[in-house]
Structure 1
Amino acid sequence: MKLVKNIVGKLTEMFSEMEQCDEEEKKQKIEEMNEMVNELNTNEIGSVFNIEMFNKIHFMIEESKISVGNAALMLKHIGYLNALKGIWTYNFRESSLCGIFGMMIIAEEKKKEEKDEKLLVDLCECFLMLNNSYSSELDLFCVPCLLKVALKKEEDEETRKEVEMALLALSCLRKGNNVPKELYLNELKVIILFHQQHHNLTHLACQSAWLFLMNILFNDRNFEKVVVNDLHFGKEAASELEDLSKCEDWKKEKEEKGKEKKEELILLRWIETLNIYFGECWLRNEECAGLLSSIVMVFRAAKDNHREICKGCIGLLNTAAKRSGSKVKDFSESGAIDVFLKEIHISTLNDQKVKKILEFFGYISYRLKKEDRPFLPFLYDDEMEGKWYYEKDEMKRKELKRKVLEMMEEEGYEDVIISMHGIFDFLNDLYFFSGRLSAHISDYFVNV
């Protein structure tokens, strides 16, 4: 808290000093202030850049004490940290600065000549990254503007950063935004396919492009075919997860509490993206097995030193077992069943992962007892192109069931479940917000 007070005081002092500086000196001070903000953790950023701070920036713009360009230099940095770290506040939205930026975007967009493209891009990025899920008519201006930047294909470092920032801002558009497909779909397909051929996007830019696509079209059945079969989401996501899981920096102990590494923040954003994919997109192909393997790889890398990523991976595999068209053999071959069998031995009652793992085995057992199909009963073969949703070969199903049973016996799974059965009600009360465990112990065994 002392650090926060010191930084707030220093930032206020530097704001006051700007009144006596020329524009170049102001720009230098803002760059120094951006470096100071990097020292704050997730919670501290939201407390420093509150409504009063944004209103103060608005006042300085109105009084010509700071240019819009220099203000945007600071606000883009705050927005970048907001988006990357998933900071959800309404400070900017509820400030007077939000309305002024919106008016500036419209005014700049309507200019017939001498339009300041850089200023327009800066304003759109600030508006989307700081608004945090706020749906607005301004989205219709911001989306095509930022896609124009994201379509740049130059390979220099400055362009890569511009593309990354534009896609990160676009990924802040959340579900429920009614942006017409013609404003973005073809452009996004070009961006993703070009990256798959030339690897021009950064890890964050690639993830942001996919999150934007998932958020906008998450409930579009025709879109599922584009994502799965045309853009090969499973293969792309698996490759990105494998690369990120091999980075060593995020696995080390944090030097200071709250100081996250960029790779771990990107992994957390991938978990958000995959939650939408497994929860809303039902179509699958053979690439899904590789994606599950990559999630297991991330889980193994994170389970000893990153609780949030570990919990996120368990949640993804749980959702995939319950809702998706992935087959049980995919969970077996990916290592998910094996790693969860080992993990359930060391889980404690105070750790929510024990409940999620129990749910996972409940869904796997459901599939193996009859047909290998998603847990939810309202899905039908003809509706979901059932070649990926059913194991119709009874011999294959029985063989898979035998292998899973052998794995469970080897790890002592049956004894663990029996020992836990008496506390299922306690676990349900402890984690009531995430669904209820079945009271029937037979639901967790496949040999019934």
Structure 2
Amino acid sequence: MEELKGMLDEMDECGFCSIFKTELFDEMDKMIEEKKVGIEKVVVLLKHIGRIKAAGCMYFSEFNRSLLLERLKKKIAEEEKKKGDKDEKHFADLCECYVMLVSDFLPGLLGICVPCLLKVGLNKEESEDVQKEVEMALLALSSIWQRNCRNLTRLGYSLAWDFLISRLVEDKKLGKGIANELHFGREARRELEELAASVDWKEKEKEEESICIIMRWIEITDTLICHCHALNSEECVGLIRCIVCVCRAAREKGQKIRKGCIGLFVTMARCKAVGAEVLWNAGVIDVVLEEMKQETQKKILRKR
């Protein structure tokens, strides 16, 4: 098993995908059925395959058509129904294999696997073995966000991130995992850009869905920075520039958004989540000065 895992680590994507065909997974299933190998050992191998696939952003759909997938789904459902005698480690392994190896998730199974993986991700023990499991759970969760959550509505996608971050904010290590493994900055920027493009900023402010979701993304970003001081350094400038653009666009229409953006910039500076140079280059200083100038002009006009 260890030799095989070592060989897999050395393969390129072409070699990897040429080996793991439906027939191979069916053969593994047959070996389990004939009791030539225990399912636990097969799961260990599947987990390693899933790690390589997810980390390398590889795509293959052979596992979707295999008998082994059907066994895996059945086993997850059986384990989920168990109470006190459930092997939590084995259950988490099954869930990780499922979300990292399939291409199309079943909503029911996803609803079982996500809470399980979040529970693993929340483990705060500092032992090396536990931290490896935490990293594995985060990697598995990242494959869900990348492939499945794009099928959610924009509101649903923001709620998924809100759910994840609100449960991990007390642990700075996990916060860094959200920033670096799940690429929060990249995802938030894309969503904000698409949402902002859908809003008619010339109209007077109204509580349309896009406005509400934009505000939610700003609040989620603020929560992550406030508690974990975490943003991926390579992605944060793009995200901050995007938020600066949103702030400027919302000057006439979105008072809540504008105030939320300014509050977020204050959080970034106070928590030192990013350096002063990054804030400057992203245009934060300029937009804050513009905001101060506008507020001063409003006060002068009111006094008249």
- Give the TM-score band, short-chain normalised: 0.5 to 0.7
In 1, the alpha carbon distance for the partners of 2:39 and 2:232 equals: 41
Misfit runs of 4+, over 6 Å: 178-184
Q: More displaced, 205-214 or 164-173?
A: 205-214
Separation in 1, partners of 2:15, 2:184 = 26
- The answer to whether structure 1 residue 326 and structure 2 residue 197 are counterparts is no
CA distance in 2, matches of 1:320, 1:64: 55
Residue 254 (structure 2) aligns with: 383
Aligned to 2:96: 125
1:229 pairs with one of 222, 239, 246:
222
**Greater helix content:** 2
The residue number in structure 1 matching 2:133 is 162
The structural deviation recorded for 1:136 is 3.0
Larger RCO (CA under 8 A, 6+ residues apart): 2
1:191 counterpart = 2:164? no
Between Structure 1 and Structure 2, whose CA radius of gyration is higher?
Answer: 1
Partner of 2:107, secondary structure, is: coil
Q: Identify if the C-alpha distance between structure 1 residues 382 and 184 changes in structure 2 by more than 3 Å, giving closer, same or farther.
A: closer
Paired position in structure 1 for 2:108: 137
Partners of 2:44 and 2:125 in 1: CA distance: 23
Letter in 1 for 2:133: E
Instruction: Indicate the RMSD between aligned Cα atoms, in angstroms.
Output: 3.9
Pick closer, same or farther for the CA change 1:148–1:386 going to 2, 3 Å: closer
After superposition, residues 364-383 of structure 1 pair within 5 angstroms as 373=248, 381-383=252-254
The answer to whether the 8 A contact 1:51-1:91 is kept is yes
CA 1:118–1:393: 2 relative to 1, 3 Å: closer
Size of the aligned set, in residue pairs, is 238
Aligned pairs for 1:264-279 (under 5 A) are none
**Contiguous gaps of at least 5 residues in structure 1:** 1-29, 242-273, 275-290, 293-316, 329-371, 397-448
Structure 2 counterpart SS, 1:172: helix
Identity of aligned residues (%): 30
The Cα of 1:102 is off from its aligned counterpart by 0.6
Q: After alignment, is 202-211 or 167-176 more displaced?
A: 202-211
1:52-99 per-residue CA deviation (whole Å, 9 max, x = no partner) reads 111111111111111111001100000001110001111111212112
Assess if the C-alpha contact under 8 Å between 1:143 and 1:183 holds in 2: no
Write the distance in 1 (CA, Å) between the matches of 2:245 and 2:175.
32
The verdict on how the C-alpha distance between 1:214 and 1:68 changes in structure 2, with shifts beyond 3 A counting, is: farther
- Shift of the 214–103 alpha-carbon distance from structure 1 to 2, 3 Å rule, reads farther
For 1:148 and 1:44, how far apart are their aligned partners in 2? 34
Q: CA deviation at 1:50?
A: 1.5
In 2, Cα distance between the equivalents of 1:168 and 1:40?
A: 20
Amino acid at match of 2:10: E
CA positional deviation for 1:125: 0.3
Which amino acid in 2 is paired with 1:106? A
Q: Which residue of structure 2 lines up, in the alignment, with residue 353 of structure 1?
A: none
Change (3 A) 1:206 1:192: farther
